[in-house]
């Protein structure tokens, strides 16, 4: 089954989220949909056709950590998945692979499945470093996990130069990276993320190596998301 994860990022007011949720309820799909809204709306989530995810988690458990949200708290909100290591957090919050590793361990201790984002910058691809970057991120983020835990991590390949830019890698570029990932992580689901939309899905869906998608911009447009899913599942 294809996995389609919706990363709302820092979008939607409370009123907009209510309307959005009503529209999402109408979406028809045979894929597994995972909605990752703002923390603020986790407890408003009431859809039965979609799984719930978070966009981030603390490296710490509950305690004196102002502004943090722990894996335990997420679990109580019925969160089953959590994005970690998104490139926006790596860039704007200077998140490091070591912290991402801590977060993944916290998630597993509360049976929450991590969706681990990896991907190279434009300059790294220009220098031919993309495989090296992705493998380093994966190795460091999964350090000291059990083999069973390692196999459960959902990996999202999101080339940074592709996020929100309308640019997508060629099929050969995506296949090359996914093969590299699967050599090291043969059991894992690998999603593609970065400007995936209802138009380029016709091309992307031909890539049999892709186990699903992590959608940013398109996640906020239920009508276009429906077209995307119909094309993907045709
Ligand atoms: P876009 O789909 O808007 O390019 O964002 C991708 C992304 O960052 C999902 O996590």
pLDDT tens-digit map of 21-64: 999 999 999 999 999 999 999 999 999 989 999 999 999 999 99
Instruction: Answer left, alpha or beta for residue 121, where phi above 0 means left and psi between -120 and 50 means alpha.
Output: beta
Query: What mean pLDDT is predicted for residues 219-226?
Result: 98
Q: Is 86 tagged catalytic?
A: yes
C-alpha 63 – ligand 1 centre gap (Å): 32
Angstrom distance (rounded) from CA 218 to CA 8: 9
pLDDT one-digit tens code per residue, 65-109: 999 999 999 999 999 999 999 999 999 999 999 999 999 999 999
Enumerate residues 6+ apart whose C-beta is below 8 A from 101: 140, 141, 142, 143, 144
Residue 94 CA to residue 110 CA, distance in Å, equals 25
Q: Look at residue 36 and give its three-state secondary structure.
A: strand
Q: According to the model, what pLDDT value does residue 120 have?
A: 98
| Ligand 1 centroid from CA 107, angstroms | 22
103-158 per-position pLDDT tens digit: 999 999 999 999 999 999 999 999 999 999 999 999 999 999 999 999 999 999 99
Note every long-range contact of 75-80, with CB atoms under 8 Å and residues 24 or more positions apart, other chains counting.
Answer: 75/110, 75/111, 75/112, 77/42, 77/43, 77/45, 77/52, 78/45, 78/52, 79/42, 79/52, 79/53, 79/54, 79/112, 80/34, 80/51, 80/52, 80/53, 80/112, 80/113
Kindly state the helix (H) or strand (E) to which residue 200 belongs, with its residue range. none
pTM of the model: 0.97
Residue whose CA is at the smallest distance from ligand 1 atom 7 = 216
Beta-bridge partners for 53:
81
Q: How many CB atoms lie within 10 A of CB 133?
A: 19
Q: Which of 88, 99, 158, 198 is an active site residue? A: 158
Query: Residue 199: what pLDDT?
Result: 97
């Amino acid at each position: 089954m294809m996995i389609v994860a919706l990363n709302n990022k820092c979008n939607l007011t409370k009123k907009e989220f209510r309307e959005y949720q009503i529209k999402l309820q109408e979406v028809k799909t045979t894929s597994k949909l995972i909605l990752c809204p703002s923390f603020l709306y986790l407890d408003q989530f009431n859809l039965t056709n979609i799984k719930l995810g978070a966009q981030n988690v603390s490296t710490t458990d509950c305690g004196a950590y102002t502004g943090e949200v722990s894996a335990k708290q997420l679990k109580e909100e019925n969160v089953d998945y959590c994005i970690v290591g998104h490139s926006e957090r790596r860039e704007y919050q200077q998140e490091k692979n070591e912290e991402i590793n801590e977060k993944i361990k916290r998630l597993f201790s509360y049976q929450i499945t991590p969706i681990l984002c990896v991907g190279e910058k434009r300059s790294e691809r220009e220098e031919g470093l993309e495989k090296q970057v992705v493998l380093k991120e994966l190795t460091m983020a999964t350090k000291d996990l059990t083999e069973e835990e390692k196999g459960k991590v959902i990996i999202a390949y999101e080339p940074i130069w592709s996020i929100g830019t309308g640019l997508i890698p060629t099929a050969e570029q995506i296949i090359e990276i996914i093969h590299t990932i699967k050599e090291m992580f043969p059991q894992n689901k690998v999603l593609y993320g970065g400007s995936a939309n209802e138009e380029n899905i016709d091309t992307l869906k031909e890539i049999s190596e892709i186990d699903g998608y992590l959608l940013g911009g398109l996640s906020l447009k239920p009508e276009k998301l429906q077209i995307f899913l119909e094309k993907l599942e045709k």
